[in-house]
Chains A and B, each alone.
Chain A
Amino acid sequence: MLLLASAIEATPVEPAAAWVMLLFAAVMMATYVGVAVERFHKTVAALCGAAVLIVMSLSLGLFEYTKIYDFLKEDLNIFGVIIGTGILVDVVGRSGLFHFLSMWIVRFTGGQASKLFLTLCLVTFLFVSVLTIVPAMLILSSLVLVICRSLDYKPMPLLLSVAICANSGAIATFASGLPNIMIGTAAGIPYMQFLQVSLPYAVISLFVAIAGLRFFFRHDLPWHQSETQQAALREQIETFDPWALVEDRKVLIRSALILTLTVIGFALAQQLGVGMDFVAMVGATAALLFAGKGVEDAIGKVNWTVILFFMGLFLIIGCVKQTGALAWVAEQVVAVSGNRLELLLPLLGGFSAVASSIVDNIPVAATLIPIVQDISGDSVPAEPLWWVLIICCNLGGNGTPIGSISCVIAIYALKREANVHVGWGTFLKLGGSIMVVQVIGAIAYVMLATNMGWIPDLP
């Protein structure tokens, strides 16, 4: 107990009575259940939970009303990143750049099943790391459906492969997923450290996924095709012209340039002494200025649902934190693990992965951030905990059909466009197995990296 993190001592929270902690935790859990079962819209569930907890906090005199501005103030930069990247991705997406690139790359496969499978997995990884999951999945799932119709392939193997590889892409960089942005911002992790620590494991997890998918779908695609079949496929795929996807080449080039400069800006943000939110907003402004045709449209595409969802979550976490409940959980974790990293990492990694496969990984990350802040201290370095949280939160999405938005999109598209139903059993066998291997690998990787001194210190 003496080894408890300094963060707890640094947070001047007077623990409330046990029943208050339990009550607040119950409301938080009820909200998360609401988010998971989608009985309500997840944003509505989060806002309802926030409203209830604020009313309870004020009634019990836990804090003054103005305290809630402090809860939100700490996370304003996340909103900046979400708004900035949202606009940028919309403008760049509408230029046809990623549609063009995906078709251009896919044509090189000649339509052969084995090459197509591998190419789609790699392209998915690349696109998600630059574009985030949702826009990348919309482009790639539609590409897979169109290509499969044209080449007469079953869409399920390729579409589920794209969905599962997307979660590997999501851990590649700071901006490739919302949990990364949240955790990276809370922990103050520079963009370059993502490339040093999470990108290598993103690649490893991708190959784990590719191997698992290739095995699982060994009977579902024509992996070996004759010369004649290959020639016929090549003829078919060459009927697609990637340039026909580009409306304006100048806009395409400008979009590519702005996106590249923004990514470079993210990488150099720390050296430049600015936040990621500033870089994202500058990128968005440049996109609106030089590459945007519909300014109103692009601004309208900002994901207000996610922003309000975050707002609700931050308020919920802030209220629960004020009761001392999260610090208590941290104390228990420390007590159980004896502050030993070799126990803390599997505990945190396993819990975050399983929780993320059931609930959205955003509330999981939001809840675990203050707990990790409390656990880490002089005797427990924070860095390995942050990395295991980032990696496992994202890879947990592979566990169930509702675990991540990429799987939701793929399964929905299969049902709607190809009339293929993917059951929980099928998905658990495929995604669940891959997730288990990836998460165990992630914990081992972070442990190894910590022992080898590969993980850089946080600034």
Chain B
Amino acid sequence: MSNDPRTSDLERNVEESMRMFERSKVGQAVTIQPVHPSRVLWVVDGSDQDQTSLAAAKHLRDKFNVEILVLDARDASSSTDDHAPRWAKEVSGARPIQGSEGEAYEKIISALANHDVDLLIVPCPFGRSFEHVGTDSAGTVIDVLLARSTKPILVIRRGDQLLGECSKRVAVVLGSECDMANRAAAWAFGLAEDDATLTLNLVIEKEHFENIRSIIEALHPEQELEPKQFSEALAKAHQAIHREMAKTAAERQLSYHLLPQAGEKAPPNSLAAAEKMLLIMPLEVDDRFGQGFVQDRIRRSPHPVLVVPGHMPS
């Protein structure tokens, strides 16, 4: 029977529909408590992206009444005067803070250590033109922050991708099992606009997918593995967070989609894409693979990316 194309269609359709119903079994899941920022460290770098960061800071101020600390983290070689006081005047509730000596990333890390903030806004690539660097580099500052920051980092990217507009479409992107996934989802619900669409994107990179497939097929030569089977496995592996997000979205009347994307195109969109989106990515800081995954997404993203890091490396 299974060789009959009509039966295969039937089988696929029934299974697809069953999976949909099974995913609706979310009742025993707990709802996610949304996280909002209350005190934000906004880092300026003297580039055009400061304007975009300003829009993000204003949005957070308007929406959550956050207190904003402004830090000019430019290297001593490129800064003659402190821009922080000027930018602080642009947002109510903002005040400049004095940076420490050293490299930009040292100033930021030091400020994070000295001030009790719960979100960091930082432009990327730091101190460079976004248009010129493109997808080639996320820069040293981002690399170091990904490795050392204990606080969530809102990475600002292309100038037209303003946080307020991007918060209408929020994608929580997971590349592997991650302890911080729930925390990232909490931030996603916290930052999402009232009419937002949230997605849980479960991603396996195409190359990674091909590698896994060739290994499994080497172990079981008779078995042909389709991307759909991987997507199904991904959905099963992340069922707990999916249930929690589905339940929370239902309670908050937000649209929510589970998108397992094994070997498929996944967020972010291409650098030139017009679509606006906020990416939220959990990160276990001592997970090198996870770090690379997040760093690569930031590098290729035109959208702002909120990285929600876990514990510090030993």
Query: How far is it, in angstroms, between the C-alpha of A145 and the C-alpha of B17 when the chains are bound?
Result: 10
Q: Does A226 contact B (CB under 8 A)?
A: no
Query: How far is it, in angstroms, between the C-alpha of A305 and the C-alpha of B21 when the chains are bound?
Result: 28
| B24 pairs with A241, CB closer than 8 A | yes
Query: How far is it, in angstroms, between the C-alpha of A141 and the C-alpha of B10 when the chains are bound?
Result: 11
Q: Does A138 contact B (CB under 8 A)?
A: yes
| A241 pairs with B256, CB closer than 8 A | no
Q: Does A54 contact B (CB under 8 A)?
A: no
Query: How far is it, in angstroms, between the C-alpha of A41 and the C-alpha of B3 when the chains are bound?
Result: 12
Could you say which residues of chain B place their CB within 8 Å of the CB of A142? Answer: 14-15, 17-18, 20-21
From B1, B7, B23, B197, contact of A244 by CB (8 A)? B23
| A249 pairs with B26, CB closer than 8 A | no
Min Cβ gap B195→A in Å is 9
Q: Does A248 contact B (CB under 8 A)?
A: yes
Q: Does B28 contact A (CB under 8 A)?
A: yes
Q: Does B247 contact A (CB under 8 A)?
A: yes
* B7-32 interface with A by 8 A CB criterion: 7, 10-11, 13-15, 17-18, 20-28
Convert B217-243 into 0s and 1s, putting 1 for each residue whose CB lies closer than 8 angstroms to a CB of A. Answer: 000000000000000000000000001
Could you say which residues of chain A place their CB within 8 Å of the CB of B26? Answer: 239-241, 244
| A244 pairs with B250, CB closer than 8 A | yes
Min Cβ gap B170→A in Å is 14
Could you say which residues of chain B place their CB within 8 Å of the CB of A240? Answer: 21, 24-27
Give the residue name and chain of the A residue nearest to B23 (CB): A244
From B7, B13, B28, contact of A138 by CB (8 A)? B13
Query: How far is it, in angstroms, between the C-alpha of A416 and the C-alpha of B2 when the chains are bound?
Result: 10
Most chain A Cβ neighbours within 10 Å, of B22, B23, B24, B197: B24
Q: Does B110 contact A (CB under 8 A)?
A: no
* B227-274 interface with A by 8 A CB criterion: 243, 246-247, 249-250, 253, 255-257
Could you say which residues of chain B place their CB within 8 Å of the CB of A248? Answer: 197, 255, 257
From B22, B27, B197, B253, contact of A238 by CB (8 A)? B27
Min Cβ gap A368→B in Å is 25
From A41, A138, A242, contact of B14 by CB (8 A)? A138
Give the residue name and chain of the B residue nearest to A42 (CB): B6
Min Cβ gap B255→A in Å is 5
Query: How far is it, in angstroms, between the C-alpha of A350 and the C-alpha of B26 when the chains are bound?
Result: 49
Convert B75-113 into 0s and 1s, putting 1 for each residue whose CB lies closer than 8 angstroms to a CB of A. Answer: 000000000000000000000000000000000000000
Contact A413:B14 (CB < 8 A) given known A241-B27, A245-B21, A247-B256: yes
Convert B22-53 into 0s and 1s, putting 1 for each residue whose CB lies closer than 8 angstroms to a CB of A. Answer: 11111110000000000000000000000000
| A239 pairs with B247, CB closer than 8 A | no
| A244 pairs with B246, CB closer than 8 A | yes
| A245 pairs with B20, CB closer than 8 A | yes
Could you say which residues of chain B place their CB within 8 Å of the CB of A103? Answer: 21, 24
List the interface of chain A (C-beta within 8 A of B).
41, 96, 99, 103, 138-139, 141-143, 145-147, 150, 238-250, 305, 409, 412-413, 416-417
Query: How far is it, in angstroms, between the C-alpha of A143 and the C-alpha of B10 when the chains are bound?
Result: 15
From B7, B246, B257, contact of A241 by CB (8 A)? B246
Min Cβ gap A300→B in Å is 12
Query: How far is it, in angstroms, between the C-alpha of A180 and the C-alpha of B141 when the chains are bound?
Result: 69
From B13, B25, B250, contact of A239 by CB (8 A)? B25
Could you say which residues of chain B place their CB within 8 Å of the CB of A241? Answer: 24-27, 246-247, 250
Min Cβ gap B153→A in Å is 30
Query: How far is it, in angstroms, between the C-alpha of A246 and the C-alpha of B6 when the chains are bound?
Result: 28
Could you say which residues of chain A place their CB within 8 Å of the CB of B28? Answer: 239
| B253 pairs with A99, CB closer than 8 A | no
Min Cβ gap A245→B in Å is 5
| A409 pairs with B27, CB closer than 8 A | no
List the interface of chain B (C-beta within 8 A of A).
1, 6-7, 10-11, 13-15, 17-18, 20-28, 197, 243, 246-247, 249-250, 253, 255-257
Query: How far is it, in angstroms, between the C-alpha of A243 and the C-alpha of B26 when the chains are bound?
Result: 10
Min Cβ gap A76→B in Å is 26
Could you say which residues of chain A place their CB within 8 Å of the CB of B25? Answer: 146, 150, 239-241
Query: How far is it, in angstroms, between the C-alpha of A249 and the C-alpha of B196 when the chains are bound?
Result: 11
Could you say which residues of chain A place their CB within 8 Å of the CB of B10? Answer: 138, 409, 412
Give the residue name and chain of the A residue nearest to B259 (CB): A247
Query: How far is it, in angstroms, between the C-alpha of A143 and the C-alpha of B21 when the chains are bound?
Result: 6
A-B contact pairs, 21 of them (CB 8 A): A99-B20, A103-B21, A103-B24, A138-B17, A142-B17, A142-B18, A147-B21, A239-B26, A240-B25, A241-B250, A244-B243, A244-B249, A245-B23, A245-B24, A246-B255, A247-B255, A249-B255, A250-B255, A412-B1, A412-B7, A416-B14
Contact A417:B14 (CB < 8 A) given known A150-B25, A239-B28: yes
| B24 pairs with A242, CB closer than 8 A | yes
Query: How far is it, in angstroms, between the C-alpha of A336 and the C-alpha of B27 when the chains are bound?
Result: 64
| B27 pairs with A417, CB closer than 8 A | no
Min Cβ gap A303→B in Å is 11
Could you say which residues of chain B place their CB within 8 Å of the CB of A150? Answer: 25
| B257 pairs with A247, CB closer than 8 A | yes
Query: How far is it, in angstroms, between the C-alpha of A169 and the C-alpha of B217 when the chains are bound?
Result: 47
User: Other CB < 8 Å A-B pairs besides A239-B27, A239-B28, 16 of them?
Assistant: A99-B17, A99-B20, A99-B21, A103-B21, A143-B17, A143-B21, A145-B18, A147-B21, A150-B25, A239-B26, A240-B27, A241-B25, A245-B23, A247-B257, A409-B14, A412-B10
Query: How far is it, in angstroms, between the C-alpha of A249 and the C-alpha of B23 when the chains are bound?
Result: 17
Query: How far is it, in angstroms, between the C-alpha of A262 and the C-alpha of B1 when the chains are bound?
Result: 37
Could you say which residues of chain B place their CB within 8 Å of the CB of A96? Answer: 20
Query: How far is it, in angstroms, between the C-alpha of A99 and the C-alpha of B15 when the chains are bound?
Result: 14
Could you say which residues of chain A place their CB within 8 Å of the CB of B23? Answer: 244-245
Which 8 pairs across A and B sit closest by C-beta, in order of nearness? A239-B27, A243-B250, A142-B17, A244-B246, A142-B18, A146-B21, A244-B24, A248-B255
Give the residue name and chain of the B residue nearest to A143 (CB): B21
Query: How far is it, in angstroms, between the C-alpha of A250 and the C-alpha of B196 when the chains are bound?
Result: 11
Query: How far is it, in angstroms, between the C-alpha of A238 and the C-alpha of B253 when the chains are bound?
Result: 18
Could you say which residues of chain B place their CB within 8 Å of the CB of A242? Answer: 24
Could you say which residues of chain B place their CB within 8 Å of the CB of A141? Answer: 14, 17
Min Cβ gap A438→B in Å is 26
Could you say which residues of chain A place their CB within 8 Å of the CB of B246? Answer: 241, 243-244
| A416 pairs with B17, CB closer than 8 A | no
Give the residue name and chain of the B residue nearest to A99 (CB): B20
